[in-house]
Chain A
Amino acid sequence: MAVSERIKVKAGQAAALLLFLGVLEWLVRKRFVSVLVLSPPSAVAMKMLEDLQGRELWTSLQVTAMEFLLAALISFVVGSFFGIVFFRFRIIRSALEPLLLAFYSAPTILLYPVFLTLFGLGSPAVVSMAVVLGSIPIMVNVSVGLAGVEPIFVKLGRSLNAGPWLMFRKVMLPAATPTIFTGLRLGFTYALVAVIAVEFITFSGGLGKLVSWRYFLFDTEGLFSAIAFIILIASLMNRLLQRTEDRIRKRWT
C-alpha cells in the first residue's frame, strides 16, 4: 500500500470511530436511550481518566495479567507437547481430531463449573479453564504445521543423514513456524477471553470481576470504562501478535 493510501485508510477508520461515538453521545443526550443502559461516551471517557489515575483498575489488571500469562505459558507447553504427539502418532491424530473439532464448535466455556468444583473459586479455576481453551488451537496448529512440511525438505534432511533431533530442530520446526505461530495467536487470544469471561462469571477477581461488580452497582459509566479498557488491552495484544505473524509469514514465503 502506498503511504498516501495508508493515511487515507487511517483517517477513514478514525472518522468512522468518531462518527459512531458521536451518534451514541447524541442518542443518550437526546434521551432516546436511557443513561441506565448506555452512558454518553464523553462521560465514559471522563470516568476512564479517573480510573487510570486510581488503583482499582490497575490492581484488577495485575490479577488478570498474571492469570493470562500463566495460562498462555501452560497452553504453550501443553499444546506443543500434544501437538508433537499427534504429529508423531497418526493413529492418535485420526482418532482424536474429529472429537477436538467438535470441542471447538461447542461453547467450552460452560465447563467452568467443573473447574470451580475442582479448584474452588479463584485463580486456579480461571487459569485451568483458559488453558483448556488456549491449548487446543496450539495443539492443532503444531500438528498440522509439522505434518505440512514440504516433503522435499524432509528428503533433503534424510539425504544428509540427519538424526531425529537435527531433523526436528533444523528442518521441521523452522518450516512449521508460520503455522505454529498462527496457533499461538489464536490460543493466546482464546486464553485471554477465557480468563476475563471466567473472572466475570465467577466473580473471582481481575478485570472480569471489575466489570460484573460495576454492573451490579448500576455504575454504567464505570462499566463501560472497564469494558473499553479491556477492549483496548485485547486489541493491543492482538495487533502485536498479528504483526509478528505477518513478519514471520513474509520471511517464510
Chain B
Amino acid sequence: MEELISVKRVSKIFEDSGVNTGGSVEAVGKVDFQVRRGEFVSLLGPSGCGKSTLLDIVAGLEPPTSGEVLIAGQTVKGPHPKTAMVFQSMSVFPWRTALENVEFGIELKGMEKKARRERARQVTQLVGLAGFEDKYPSQLSGGMNQRLAIARALALDPEILLMDEPFGALDEQTRFLMGLELLRIWEETRKTILFVTHSIAEAIQLSDRVLVMSARPSVIREEIPILLPRPRTIETLTTEIATQIERRIWDILKVEAAKGMTPDGR
C-alpha cells in the first residue's frame, strides 16, 4: 500500500503569545510517521500533549516550525482538497437544519444547489440520519450532531478524514456505538483516517495502528499495531490480546501523563 500521508521531522514551537507563558512553548518535537491509503491510524496521547496541534499541521491549518507534511507526494501548504476535518466540540451550525449543515462544505466549494442537495441526502442516509434532514441541531442528541459533522466531511468525498477527538464530548456508551458506526462508514467508503484521541479504549477499538505520543514536546513514543480481527465487536475487543495491548499502552502513557502533570508541563 502506498503512503498517502507522510509526516517528516515535523516540529512546532509557539512563540510567546504574551499570556503568562513566559517564553515560547514547544508543542511538537520531531515527529515522523506515515499513513497508508485506506489505513485507520490513531494519535493517542495525554491531554495537552500537542496531538491536536500535530493534526492541525497535517490539515494545513498550522505551519510546522520545521519539517514538512506530504499528502499524496505534495507538500502541504494549506488545507489540502483531499482532506476533510471533523472537530472535537459542537461544530455544527445551530442556525442550519441537519441537511443544510451537511451541505455546508460542498456549498463553500461551489457545488450547484440541486447536486449538493442530493449528495447531502446520500451522506445523511449513510450516517444513519435519514428522516432527520429538516431538524435543527438543538433538536438532535450530541451523538447525532457528531454524525452530522462526519456527514459534512464525507459529503466532500475526501480521501482523508482528519478527526480531532470527534467523540470526546460524548458519554462512554454513545462513544462506543459511534465508534462502531464510524467503522461501518469506513468499511463502506474506504477512506484513510487519521484520528486523534486520548481514550485508549477508543484507539484500540478503531485503529489499525496506534501512535502513542509523549507529553509535551510530543514525539511518538511507540507505534502499536492493533492486530485484532475486523469487524471489531465486544467479543474481539475483550479477548486476552486486546487486554494485553491495553496494558502495554497504559504502561507507556502513565509515565507520559505524569510528566504532563508537573507544573512546567515537561
Contact with B along A144-182 (1 / 0, CB 8 A): 000000001101111111100010001000110100000
Task: Work out how many contacts link A and B, with CB atoms closer than 8 A.
Answer: 50
**Do B108 and A152 touch across chains, with their CB atoms under 8 A apart?**
no
Dominant SS among interface residues on chain A = helix
Contact with A along B184-219 (1 / 0, CB 8 A): 000000000000000000000000000000000000
Please tell me which one of the listed residues B81, B87, B107, B136 contacts residue A156 in the complex, with CB atoms under 8 A apart.
B87
Instruction: List B contacts of A177 (CB < 8 A).
Output: 95
User: Is B23 in the interface zone, CB < 8 Å from A?
Assistant: no
The closest CB in chain A to the CB of B106 belongs to A160
Q: Is the interface on chain B under 10, 10 to 19, 20 to 34, or 35 or more residues? A: 20 to 34
**Do A251 and B136 touch across chains, with their CB atoms under 8 A apart?**
yes
Measured CB to CB, the closest approach of chain B to A12, in angstroms, equals 31
Given A152-B90, A170-B104, A251-B136, A161–B79 Cβ distance below 8 Å?
yes
**Do B85 and A174 touch across chains, with their CB atoms under 8 A apart?**
no
Q: Is the interface on chain A under 10, 10 to 19, 20 to 34, or 35 or more residues? A: 10 to 19
User: Is B138 in the interface zone, CB < 8 Å from A?
Assistant: yes
Q: How far is the CA of A152 from the CA of B61 in the complex (A)?
A: 12
Please tell me which one of the listed residues A158, A159, A251 contacts residue B94 in the complex, with CB atoms under 8 A apart.
A251
**Do A157 and B61 touch across chains, with their CB atoms under 8 A apart?**
no
Instruction: List A contacts of B93 (CB < 8 A).
Output: 153, 174-175
Quick one: which of A156, A162, A175 has the most chain B CB within 10 A? A156
User: Is A215 in the interface zone, CB < 8 Å from B?
Assistant: no
**Do B95 and A152 touch across chains, with their CB atoms under 8 A apart?**
no
Interface residues of B in 211-242 (CB under 8 A from A): none
**Do A170 and B108 touch across chains, with their CB atoms under 8 A apart?**
yes
Q: How far is the CA of A166 from the CA of B109 in the complex (A)?
A: 10
Measured CB to CB, the closest approach of chain B to A179, in angstroms, equals 13
Measured CB to CB, the closest approach of chain A to B91, in angstroms, equals 5
Interface residues of B in 75-92 (CB under 8 A from A): 78-79, 81, 84-85, 87-91
Q: How far is the CA of A155 from the CA of B78 in the complex (A)?
A: 13
Instruction: List A contacts of B105 (CB < 8 A).
Output: 160
Given A152-B87, A170-B107, A251-B136, A159–B79 Cβ distance below 8 Å?
yes
Measured CB to CB, the closest approach of chain A to B133, in angstroms, equals 17
Measured CB to CB, the closest approach of chain A to B165, in angstroms, equals 12
The closest CB in chain B to the CB of A178 belongs to B95
Interface residues of A in 188-231 (CB under 8 A from B): none
User: Is B59 in the interface zone, CB < 8 Å from A?
Assistant: yes
The closest CB in chain B to the CB of A156 belongs to B91
**Do A252 and B107 touch across chains, with their CB atoms under 8 A apart?**
no
User: Is A105 in the interface zone, CB < 8 Å from B?
Assistant: no
Instruction: List B contacts of A159 (CB < 8 A).
Output: 59, 61, 79, 84-85
**Do B138 and A160 touch across chains, with their CB atoms under 8 A apart?**
no
User: Is A253 in the interface zone, CB < 8 Å from B?
Assistant: yes
Please tell me which one of the listed residues B61, B94, B108 contacts residue A155 in the complex, with CB atoms under 8 A apart.
B61
Q: How far is the CA of A251 from the CA of B95 in the complex (A)?
A: 6
**Do A252 and B95 touch across chains, with their CB atoms under 8 A apart?**
yes
Instruction: List A contacts of B81 (CB < 8 A).
Output: 161
The closest CB in chain A to the CB of B78 belongs to A161
Q: How far is the CA of A252 from the CA of B78 in the complex (A)?
A: 31
19 more contacts with CB within 8 A, not counting A160-B79, A174-B93, A251-B94, are A152-B87, A152-B88, A152-B90, A153-B93, A155-B91, A156-B87, A156-B91, A156-B104, A158-B79, A159-B61, A159-B79, A159-B85, A160-B104, A160-B105, A161-B81, A166-B108, A251-B95, A252-B94, A253-B94
Q: A residues near B, CB below 8 A?
A: 152-153, 155-162, 166, 170, 174-175, 177, 251-253
What are 16 A-B pairs at a CB distance below 8 A?
A: A152-B88, A152-B89, A152-B90, A156-B91, A156-B104, A160-B104, A160-B108, A160-B156, A161-B78, A161-B81, A162-B108, A166-B108, A170-B104, A175-B93, A252-B94, A253-B94
